[in-house]
Amino acid sequence: MSAFARRVVLLTGAGGGLGREFARQLLAAGADLILSSHSPQRLTAAAEFAAHGQPSGKTGRIRALLPADLSDPASCDRLAQQVTQVAPDLDLIIHNAGIGLYGPLNAIPAEAAERLLRINLHAPIRLTAALLPVLRNRPHSQIVFISSILGRAALPNISVYSAAKFGLRGFASGLTAEGYSVSTVYPFFTQTDILDAPQYGEGPKRRVPGWLVDQPPPVVRASLAGIAARRRHIYPSWKAHLYAIVADIAPDILPPFSRLVAG
């Protein structure tokens, strides 16, 4: 039996590239899903993508589609209330929602930076706190944060994004110390909307070379294997593993390498 069969999962950011793939693979593994995204249209499309081609009667189900703007604290609270109502048996949260931006700090509008922090860091903290009473009642509950390799070592012109991902790592560590089962996933550059995030400041458009970019299906497959094994730190590709090793033993070579391969 799949490790996710009959598990009840809240997945945020379900409308994005990783989110849609998480939904598809979790559904195939037999999970009950509560999907959330900022856009109702993207949420519906994600549900259709996840269900397409699944064998009839042999998968999990989508229990609810819950649009939510995670940049708005009131919307976060509303989402938590809705989840509590439709899934009092919730036992797994995957905090996948996130946005990106690129550029030197002095070129980034304060509101853009603050919005990123609200979505990427404040919302996971707020939602987790609100849903802890539900999770405490489930003996095998689990909290998962989709971080980034940039939460292991920062690169130039991604300081605000890295700050949020470093923050998630610290939050996850604290929850683990409090006795919760927590996993943090550190994907490498992956083919999602993050690669097309807004860029501020002068200079040519930054592009990550195709040979450096991982694809969502294997990244999600490796992530779910790590989540099923309840590993604390999950690196879902060899590139992510290599980045983590270099971050530990020779972090100073990463910024110049970044400039070399991506401008």
Q: Which whole number is the average pLDDT over 11-24? A: 95
* Domains in the chain: boundaries: 8-262
What's the pLDDT score for residue 5? 92
CA separation for the pair 16, 22 (Å, rounded): 10
Q: What angle do CA 232, 236, 237 make, to 5 degrees?
A: 140
- For 161-194, write each residue's pLDDT tens digit: 999 999 999 999 999 999 999 999 999 999 998 8
Share of the chain above pLDDT 90, in %: 76
pTM strictly above 0.85: yes
- The CATH number that domain 8-262 falls under is 3.40.50.720
What's the pLDDT score for residue 47? 92
CA separation for the pair 88, 137 (Å, rounded): 9
What's the pLDDT score for residue 100? 93
- 83, pLDDT greater than 60: yes
Least confident of 143-157, 208-222, 247-261: 247-261
What is the pLDDT of the chain when averaged over all its residues? 92
Q: Which whole number is the average pLDDT over 224-253? A: 93
For residue 259, name the pLDDT band (cuts at 50, 70, 90): low
For residue 13, name the pLDDT band (cuts at 50, 70, 90): very high
- 261, pLDDT greater than 90: no
What's the pLDDT score for residue 260? 55
Q: Which whole number is the average pLDDT over 14-43? A: 95
> 110 exposed, middle or buried (CB, 10 Å; 0-12, 13-18, 19+)?
exposed
Q: Which whole number is the average pLDDT over 239-256? A: 88
Least confident of 9-18, 30-39, 48-57, 80-89: 48-57
What's the pLDDT score for residue 155? 87
Q: What angle do CA 185, 53, 12 make, to 5 degrees?
A: 30
- For 114-148, write each residue's pLDDT tens digit: 999 999 999 999 999 999 999 988 889 999 999 99
pLDDT, greater one: 73 or 257: 73
Strand partners, 61: 32
- 78, pLDDT greater than 80: yes
CA separation for the pair 200, 142 (Å, rounded): 37
Q: Which whole number is the average pLDDT over 91-112? A: 95
CA separation for the pair 95, 12 (Å, rounded): 5
- 53, pLDDT greater than 70: yes
CA separation for the pair 140, 7 (Å, rounded): 10
For residue 22, name the pLDDT band (cuts at 50, 70, 90): very high
What are 186's two structure tokens? 């550190």
Three-state SS across the chain? Answer: CCCCCCCEEEECCCCCHHHHHHHHHHHHCCCEEEEEECCHHHHHHHHHHHHCCCCCCCCCEEEEEEECCCCCHHHHHHHHHHHHHHCCCCCEEEECCCCCCECCHHHCCHHHHHHHHHHHHHHHHHHHHHHHHHHCCCCCCEEEEECCHHHCCCCCCCHHHHHHHHHHHHHHHHHHHCCCCEEEECCCCECCHHHHCCECCCCCCCCCCHHHCECHHHHHHHHHHHHHCCCCEECCCHHHHHHHHHHHHCHHHHHHHHHHHHC
CA separation for the pair 224, 151 (Å, rounded): 19
For residue 195, name the pLDDT band (cuts at 50, 70, 90): confident
CA separation (Å) from 262 to 157, 224, 236? 12, 29, 22
Cα dihedral value 235, 238, 240, 241, nearest 10: 70
